[in-house]
C-alpha cells in the first residue's frame, strides 16, 4: 500500500468550490464507505473543514488510487473530473506524510499556527475509526500526525501570531468597525466552530455574548460554560437585531441568514465562518450589513509568525517525516521476514517427515529431540540476518532489502501484506 493525499483548500479553490466539496458528518461516513469500495483504495480518512477538504488514503497504485478518489469527490461535488482537477493538489508517499504533518502544525492554515486544525484532524480520524475505514497504515499516519501537531505547538511559538480563524475574523471586523470590546455578539451554531467562537469572543472582551442553535441543549451547555446567554432558535430575528457582531458557523447545507433577516437587523457585522456559507448569496450587499466570509479572510491574512518560529516547526516536521519513513520502510520488511521464517519452518517440517518415514523405530521422545534441535539451528542461523535486515530496511533506500530477500529465497508474499513496498518513496505528483 502507498499513501496518497488528495484535496482542495483555500489556496487552490474558491469558497463556492469548497462549499460543493464540503462533507456533512453523515455524508462523510458515506464517503468513507464509498472510498474503500473502490478497486485501488484500501483505507481512507476524510478531513472537511471551512478551509479544506482532503482525503488521505492507502492505495495499491498511484494512478488507480487517484482516479478512484477523484471520482468519489467529483460525484459528491457534482463537478466534472476536469473541472475538479483544476482545484486539487495531490501528494504521494513521503510528500503525503510531509503535507499531513505541516497541516497539523498549522503551517498550511489560513491563519498560520492556528491550533484548531488539530481538533478537526482528530475528529476526522475518529470518524474513520468508527467507520472502520482506517487500517494499519492510516492509523499510524494519523496518530503520528496528531503527535507532530502537538509537538509543534508545545515546542515553538508558532501559534503566537494567531489562535484561530475566529481571531482572524475578529481582526478583520475590528478593521471595519473599530474596537469590538463591549459590543453585543451573537453566535449561531454550537458545534466545534461555534464553541471556539464563544471562547474567543469571551477571551477578547466582546460581549455580552448570546448563542443560538437548532438543538437548544447544546446552546444551553455552551452558554453555561462561558457565562453567555442561550437564545431559542425561533427567536433568531430578535437576537440578530440586538447584536452588533454575528458569527455564524453552522453545519447547515442551506443558508440560515437571508436578505430579509439581515435587512431587519442592520446595522450589523456578520462573520460567516461556515462552509457551505450561512449567508444567502443575495444577502451579502444589504445596506448597513458587512459580511466577512472565509473568502474575505483569505484576502486579509494575519501577520505571519516570526521566520524563526516557522523554521523551527519546519525542522520538527522534517525530522518527524524521516522518523515516519523509517517506520514505513521497517514495516515493509516484516511480511517478508515472516515469509522467510515460515519457509524455514516448512523445510524443517518436511525433513522431519522424511526422517520419520526412514527411521520408524525412533520413539516420540527421540523425534521431539531431533525436532527441537533442528528448529534451534534454523532459528540461530536466521536470527542475525533478520535482525540486520530490519535495521537496513529502516534506512533510506531500505525498501530494496525486502525485494532482495523475496528474490533470493523465492518467497511468495501477497501484495496486500507488503505494507508499503514501493519502488521509490517520496514522490509528489
- Catalytic residue numbers, as ranges: 50
Give the count of beta carbons closer than 10 Å to the beta carbon of residue 57: 31
Pairing assessment for the beta strands 41-48 and 52-59 based on DSSP bridges: antiparallel
DSSP state for residue 86 in the 8-state scheme:
T
DSSP state for residue 92 in the 8-state scheme:
E
Give the count of beta carbons closer than 10 Å to the beta carbon of residue 137: 21
Quick one: cell of 112? 498560520
Taking each continuous run of H as one helix and of E as one strand, the counts in the chain are 16, 10
CA max distance for the chain: 104
Q: Which residue has the cell 540461530?
A: 380
Backbone phi and psi for residue 426, each to the nearest 5 degrees, phi listed first? 115, 15
Quick one: cell of 232? 431559542
Rounded distance between C-alpha atoms, residue 349 and residue 362, angstroms? 16
Those residues with Cβ within 8 angstroms of residue 413's Cβ, 6 or more apart along the chain or in another chain = 335, 336, 339, 406
**CA 107 to chain CA centroid, nearest Å:** 14
Amino acid at each position: 500500500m502507498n499513501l496518497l493525499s488528495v484535496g482542495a483548500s483555500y489556496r487552490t479553490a474558491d469558497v463556492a468550490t469548497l462549499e460543493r466539496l464540503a462533507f456533512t458528518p453523515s455524508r462523510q461516513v458515506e464517503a468513507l464507505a464509498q472510498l474503500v469500495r473502490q478497486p485501488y483504495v484500501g483505507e481512507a480518512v476524510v478531513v472537511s473543514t471551512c478551509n479544506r477538504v482532503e482525503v488521505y488514503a492507502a492505495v495499491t497504485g498511484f494512478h488507480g488510487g487517484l482516479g478512484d478518489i477523484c471520482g468519489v469527490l467529483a460525484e459528491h461535488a457534482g463537478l466534472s473530473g476536469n473541472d475538479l482537477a483544476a482545484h486539487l493538489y495531490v501528494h504521494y508517499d513521503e510528500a503525503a506524510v510531509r503535507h499531513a504533518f505541516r497541516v497539523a502544525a498549522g503551517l498550511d492554515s489560513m491563519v498560520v499556527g492556528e491550533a484548531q486544525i488539530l481538533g478537526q484532524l482528530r475528529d476526522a480520524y475518529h470518524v474513520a475509526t468508527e467507520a472502520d475505514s482506517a487500517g494499519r497504515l492510516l492509523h499510524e499516519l494519523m496518530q503520528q500526525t496528531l503527535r507532530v501537531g502537538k509537538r509543534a505547538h508545545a515546542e515553538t511559538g508558532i501559534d503566537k501570531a494567531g489562535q484561530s480563524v475566529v481571531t482572524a475574523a475578529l481582526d478583520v471586523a475590528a478593521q471595519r468597525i473599530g474596537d469590538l470590546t463591549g459590543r453585543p455578539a451573537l453566535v449561531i451554531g454550537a458545534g466545534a466552530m461555534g464553541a471556539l467562537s464563544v471562547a474567543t469572543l469571551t477571551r477578547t472582551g466582546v460581549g455580552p455574548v448570546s448563542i443560538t442553535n437548532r438543538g437548544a441543549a447544546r446552546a444551553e451547555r455552551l452558554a453555561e460554560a462561558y457565562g453567555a446567554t442561550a437564545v431559542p432558535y425561533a427567536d433568531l430575528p430578535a437576537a440578530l437585531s440586538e447584536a452588533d457582531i454575528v458569527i455564524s458557523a453552522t453545519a447547515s447545507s442551506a443558508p440560515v441568514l437571508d436578505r430579509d433577516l439581515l435587512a431587519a437587523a442592520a446595522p450589523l457585522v456578520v462573520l460567516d465562518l461556515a462552509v457551505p456559507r450561512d449567508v444567502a448569496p443575495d444577502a451579502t450587499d444589504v445596506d448597513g450589513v458587512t459580511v466577512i466570509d472565509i473568502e474575505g479572510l483569505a484576502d486579509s491574512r494575519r501577520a505571519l509568525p516570526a521566520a524563526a518560529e516557522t523554521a523551527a516547526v519546519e525542522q520538527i516536521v522534517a525530522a518527524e517525516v524521516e522518523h515516519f519513513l523509517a517506520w514505513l520502510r521497517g514495516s515493509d520488511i516484516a511480511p517478508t521476514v515472516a515469509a522467510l521464517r515460515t519457509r524455514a519452518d516448512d523445510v524443517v517440517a518436511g525433513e522431519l517427515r522424511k526422517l520419520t518415514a526412514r527411521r520408524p523405530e525412533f520413539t516420540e521422545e527421540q523425534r521431539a529431540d531431533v525436532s527441537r534441535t533442528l528448529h534451534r539451528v534454523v532459528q540461530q542461523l536466521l536470527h542475525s540476518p533478520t535482525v540486520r535486515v530490519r535495521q537496513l530496511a529502516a534506512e533510506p533506500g531500505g525498501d530494496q532489502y525486502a525485494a532482495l530477500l523475496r528474490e533470493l529465497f523465492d518467497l511468495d508474499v501477497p501484495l496486500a501484506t507488503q505494507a508499503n513496498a514501493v519502488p521509490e518513496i517520496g514522490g509528489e505528483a
